[in-house]
Amino acid sequence: MENWAIGLEAVADPTVLLLIVAGVLIGIVVGALPGISATVGVAILLPFTFVMEPLQGMMLLLGIYGGAVYAGSIPAILVRAPGTPASAASVADGNALTRKGQAERALKISVLASCLGGIFGVIVLALMAPALASIALGFGPAAYFMLALLALTVVASVSEGRMVKGLISGVIGIGIAMIGLDTIQGFPRLTFGSADLTAGINYIPVMIGLFAVSEAFMQFESKAKLKLDVATEKFKASLKWLARISPSGLLGSVIGFIIGVIPGTGGDIGSFVAYNEAKRAARDKSKFGRGDERGLAAAEAAKNSGTAGAMVPMLTLGIPGDVTSAVLIGAITVHGLQPGPNLFSGAPDLVYGIFIGFLVVYLVLLILGWLGSGLWSKLIERVPSSYLWPSVIVLAVIGCYSLRSSAFDVLIMLISAVVGYVLAKAGFPLAPLIIGMILGPIAEAGFRRAMIIEGDLSWIFSPLPLVLLILTLLSVGFAIWREFAHHGSLSETIGMDNTVPPTGATPVVTADGPSGEQGAAGSVDSEKPAPSRSSGQSDS
Amino acid sequence: MTTTRRRCAAAALAAAFVLAGCSGGDDGEGAEADGGSGSFPSQPINLIVPYAAGGSADSTARQLAAVAQDTCGAPIIIRNATGGSGAVGFQATLSSPADGYTVGSASIELTMLDHMGISEIHPDDYEGILQYSEQPIVFGVPADSPYQSLQDVIDSDDRVTVATSGTGGIYHLGYESMALAAGIDDRTVNVPFDGAASALQAALGDQTAMVSVGAAEMRPHIESGAIRPLAIAGDPVDYLPEDVPTLHELGIDSETTAILGLYAPAGVPQDRIELLNECFNEARESDQFSDYMETTGLNQRYRDAQEFDQFMGEEYDRFGELIDEIGMGVH
């Protein structure tokens, strides 16, 4: 308790509080711009913290971290352009809500779930950090492989109703991730002697191209036919609404935190896994992927809860949980402090100041984000689409270039945009491609490292990998069962995929949707193919 | 009314666009040919870091640049061009105009990539400006390991897994060099991870028997008692326990150190190399930079332009042989 008092005293300083607010504001700007991630924002401002007190510097950087991870979802929800990879899981449901004219509602869910997820994560971090450190260490290569397999089953969930196309999309993603030097032997694969390909294809330009720019193409195409400006509904938060989204938010917070604790995985996959589990837990799944508030809440809560999770190995072991916390370590070491067990006894004011300060970060973010969400949704409402979409493309180009100062990344982004356009037209879900790109290398490296260490497959039967394997099998079994339950037989499902009506088909609006949503949802969905959905809805 | 609102919103978007521009597309001007005569430097200096933001190459370059802005009398613009074990950033530097306005952050990989067929970079392609850091590799084991010394490892018949930061990286080659010299290369297995932190994590979690990374990276884990250092592949470092032997003291003829420095593309006029050496060295000697190096545990080690060129040339030849010997060579 004494340590908490020391921490509280350290944070209750006007300078510290000012830095928190500044950090959160910078973070929101950094996160909302595609291609400029939380890591870049933190790294750029890191040198400025060298002249500050350790806690002051950490507060500025944690403000940026929390703010950027939250704000990545603003463009994801408004224009399908995830600002950071962790927000990719929020594109489907968040943007579907925007298209129904419920942008403000989606943004409010996003800010609430992000901040409550973050606060949940920080509390668990503060109470259990040393105990949780052993989880991070117990995670060997074999467990990484199995975790990646488990996370890959998310593909089945996000492509329900068009399973074959989803799997193809996932395999394409894994294939793209194989380009470049392989992670184990440094052997160049599929590089055709090109130096750019040898460096590998980063998934961020691919993500920006697939989601944001291909969407801009679609908008240009449909503009002639449709009036796109959907009237934005006013949104008032209610207790009933809060009760509806909190269970998924809590589930997302727990999952996001645990995955955040495991070094090197981080929020990028945590949000997808949380989305998947929220969908599995829901009784009525028909709206997932088309504007379900619960799916959005789970994904949003998971990504910010993961920021606190990533601090566990960083503070207790000196091992970064994700790339951003790797930079944060630098902010501590520069003051002559070493993260690790000794930090808790040696600098309690810093450690407990970080806990309390990180809580304050999320409270500040909640206030700023809540006030701001009305503003951001107006942005999308007021800017004519003839300005909006070209701006998205310009930002995408700049963001991709700034990532590695590489024109090649811009080319990759543009190619991905065309590929994304074609795939979406043909009814392929795009999220599995990104999931495959993120998880493929983790799975491959984990498997090969485990094989090098053990020399044979005996690692499968160690406790942690075995548990994860069983969960994976259950997850796959569940997906197969759902396909059968919905369509009678698997062959029918596959048959249906082949007879998907091309673009322009009028989809059936969900039977349980509020009547007010129908018109907007219908007009929006007609620009995008909604293959094989109709049978899925009849029994919902 | 509506029009005004629309304009405001458009302006907000434009503002966002400008912000992105500031953080992203900040090179270009420096590439313009310098007017000739006049005083050098008369325009901003670009510093290309071939590794991601936050690593030791990046953070030390940023620290050094912060002071060198004053000592060199020109703004220094840092950009990270990452990928391909540094190849992307090295090539970006080498293909820039040789006018002294583009310098690169050098690491030991500059001498290794050519031999592995990743990027054709020969010592003649660049001119050293200065070296500012040297960091020996340390071989460590988890605290509860049965090995009390490197001799125990050598004397045993065990298959020994060694966590490294990645195949072909300096920490991998440093351990291969040690294993060859000690005659245990047939029993040791490289387990490559993504960076030193992941390699250390594997050793801390008892996933591998040994870990081979730089002294500064291993330092916190040595101080917390989680990792026991067995040997140093270079000169002793003051913050490591005094009883940790160097490989030479153990009678193993191998020495591998990671370095950090600055270089420019070949063809930069000699007087500009000298000016850059002077002003960056002045920044290196500043209290601010020295303090930073001390707290992060990165050893300062200065080599001037000629010494640095010579060192890189020798390392290039040595790594050529080593990389061929361990079967990773392409020449």
User: What residue segments make up the domains of chain A, in order of their start?
Assistant: 2-530
Closest approach of A495 to chain B, Cα-based (Å) = 43
pLDDT digit string (tens) for A64-88?
A: 999 999 999 999 998 888 888 889 8
pLDDT digit string (tens) for A518-528?
A: 333 333 333 33
| List of chain B residues whose C-beta atoms are within 8 Å of the C-beta of residue A341 | 224
Q: How confident is the model at residue A257 (pLDDT cuts 50, 70, 90)?
A: very high
Question: From CA A415, how far away is CA A437, in angstroms rounded?
Answer: 16
Q: How high is the pLDDT of residue A219?
A: 82
Contact B166, B144 (CB under 8 A): no
In sequence order, the 6+-apart residues with CB closer than 8 A to the CB of B247 are B178, B181, B231, B232, B233, B253, B254, B255
Q: How high is the pLDDT of residue A229?
A: 53
Query: Collapsing DSSP states into helix, strand and coil, what is residue A16?
Result: helix
Taking the Cβ of residue A374 and every Cβ of chain B, the question of whether any pair is shorter than 8 Å is answered with no
Question: From CA B239, how far away is CA B294, in angstroms rounded?
Answer: 10
> Minimal Cα distance from B191: which residue of A?
A449
Q: How high is the pLDDT of residue A263?
A: 80
pLDDT digit string (tens) for A200-249?
A: 888 888 988 998 898 888 888 876 544 445 566 677 778 888 888 899 99
Highest mean pLDDT of the ranges A124-138, A285-299, A398-412: A285-299
Pairing of strands B45-49, B102-107: parallel
Q: How high is the pLDDT of residue B185?
A: 93
| Window 276-335 of A, Cβ < 8 Å to B | 313, 317-320, 323, 326-327, 330, 333-335
Contact B191, A453 (CB under 8 A): yes
Residue at A427: amino acid letter: G
pLDDT over threshold 60, residue B33: no
Per-domain boundaries in chain B? 44-134+257-325, 136-232
Q: Which CATH number fits domain B44-134+257-325: 3.40.190.150, 3.90.1150.10, 3.40.50.2300, 3.90.480.10?
A: 3.40.190.150
pLDDT digit string (tens) for A205-217?
A: 898 899 889 888 8
Pairing of strands A188-189, A180-181: antiparallel
Q: How far is CA B262 from the centre of its chain?
A: 10
Closest approach of A253 to chain B, Cα-based (Å) = 25
pLDDT digit string (tens) for A174-184?
A: 999 999 888 88
ipTM over 0.90: no
Partner residue opposite A330 with nearest CB, options B27, B54, B200: B54
pLDDT over threshold 60, residue A469: yes
Q: How high is the pLDDT of residue A398?
A: 87
pLDDT digit string (tens) for A320-374?
A: 777 788 778 878 877 777 777 678 877 888 899 999 999 999 999 999 999 998 8
Mean of the pLDDT values across residues A21-33? 92
| List of chain B residues whose C-beta atoms are within 8 Å of the C-beta of residue A138 | 205
pLDDT over threshold 60, residue B30: no
Residue B80, strand partner residues: B49
Task: Report, in angstroms and rounded to the nearest whole number, the Rg of chain A calculated over CA atoms.
Answer: 22
Q: Alpha carbon of B29 to those of A171, A192, B279: distances in Å?
A: 43, 33, 22
Q: How confident is the model at residue A266 (pLDDT cuts 50, 70, 90)?
A: low
Interface test with B, best of A449, A452, A454, A456 (most B CBs within 10 A): A449
Output the average pLDDT for chain B: 86
- Sign of CA pseudo-dihedral A39, A43, A49, A55: positive
Query: Collapsing DSSP states into helix, strand and coil, what is residue A190?
Result: coil
CATH architecture of B136-232: 3-Layer(aba) Sandwich (3.40)
Q: How confident is the model at residue B21 (pLDDT cuts 50, 70, 90)?
A: very low
| Window 100-159 of B, Cβ < 8 Å to A | 116-119, 159
Mean of the pLDDT values across residues A269-293? 87
Q: What is the 3-state secondary structure (H, E, C) of chain B?
A: CHHHHHHHHHHHHHHHHHHHHHHHCCCCHHHCCCCCCCCCCCCCEEEEECCCCCCHHHHHHHHHHHHHHHHHCCCEEEEECCCHHHHHHHHHHHCCCCCCCEEEEEEHHHHCHHHHCCCCCCHHHEEEEEEEEEEEEEEEEECCCCCCCHHHHHHCCCCEEEEECCCCCHHHHHHHHHHHHHCCCCCEEEEECCCHHHHHHHHHCCCCCEEEEEHHHHHHHHHCCCEEEEEECCCCCCCCCCCCCECCCCCCCCCCEEEEEEEEECCCCHHHHHHHHHHHHHHHHCHHHHHHHHHHCCCEEEECHHHHHHHHHHHHHHHHHHHHHCCCCCC
Six-digit token string for B200? 């250390």
pLDDT over threshold 50, residue B198: yes
| Window 194-253 of B, Cβ < 8 Å to A | 194, 197-198, 200-202, 204-205, 207-208, 219-221, 223-224, 226
Report how many Cβ contacts below 8 Å link chain A to chain B: 195
Contact A136, A321 (CB under 8 A): yes
| List of chain A residues whose C-beta atoms are within 8 Å of the C-beta of residue B216 | none
> Minimal Cα distance from B327: which residue of A?
A185
pLDDT digit string (tens) for A88-98?
A: 899 989 989 98
Question: From CA A4, how far away is CA A232, in angstroms rounded?
Answer: 45
Six-digit token string for A54? 């350790």
Q: How high is the pLDDT of residue B315?
A: 95
Six-digit token string for A130? 């040393």
Six-digit token string for B154? 């050598």
Output the average pLDDT for chain A: 82
| Residue B43 CB burial class (10 angstroms; 0-12, 13-18, ≥19) | middle
Question: From CA B279, how far away is CA B276, in angstroms rounded?
Answer: 5
| Window 46-105 of B, Cβ < 8 Å to A | 48, 52-55, 58-59, 62-63, 66, 79-85, 87-88, 91-92
> Minimal Cα distance from A379: which residue of B?
B9
Q: Alpha carbon of A171 to those of A83, A167, A235, A440, A497: distances in Å?
A: 24, 6, 40, 9, 17
- Cβ separation of B25 and A398 shorter than 8 Å? yes
Residue at A506: amino acid letter: T
| List of chain A residues whose C-beta atoms are within 8 Å of the C-beta of residue B22 | none
Least confident of A428-437, B52-61, B177-186, B277-286: B52-61
Mean of the pLDDT values across residues A120-143? 86
Which letter, b or e, does each residue of A90-99 get, where b requires 16 or more Cβ atoms within 10 Å of its Cβ?
bbbbbbbbbb
| Window 399-418 of A, Cβ < 8 Å to B | 399, 401-402, 404-406
